[in-house]
Amino acid sequence: MDQGAHGLSTGLEYRPGSFAKTDEIIQLVKVIEPYGGIYHTHIRNEADKLLEAIREAIEISKKTGAPAHISHLKTWGKD
């Protein structure tokens, strides 16, 4: 962050990021929060577990104080 980074990003739908636990991500995001860093995430699931994946991003933001940005947020269908 001291060298110009704006935050931390994760690709939780892809390997190896898909193996990361929520608590592990929270610990990492806590490092960037004091710098005003932003947590950018490609959430774990964009289909049948979309809401669960969005809730995870919100939880990480709430528990760390860092704002979250969800990449490629999109939905379709009735459910």
Cα torsion angle, 21, 23, 26, 31, sign: negative
Of all residues in the chain, the percent with pLDDT exceeding 70 is 99
- Write out pLDDT tens, residues 55-69: 999 999 999 999 999
Pairwise CA distance, residues 12 & 70, whole Å: 11
Of all residues in the chain, the percent with pLDDT exceeding 90 is 86
Of the candidates 55, 73, 27, which has an alpha carbon nearest to the alpha carbon of residue 8? 27
Stretch 13-31: mean pLDDT:
97
pLDDT band for position 79 (cuts 50, 70, 90): low
Indicate the residue type of 64.
Answer: T
My answer on whether omega of the bond before 34 falls inside 30° of 0, hence cis, is: no
- Collapse the DSSP code of 35 into the 3-class scheme (helix H, G, I; strand E, B; otherwise coil) and give the result: helix
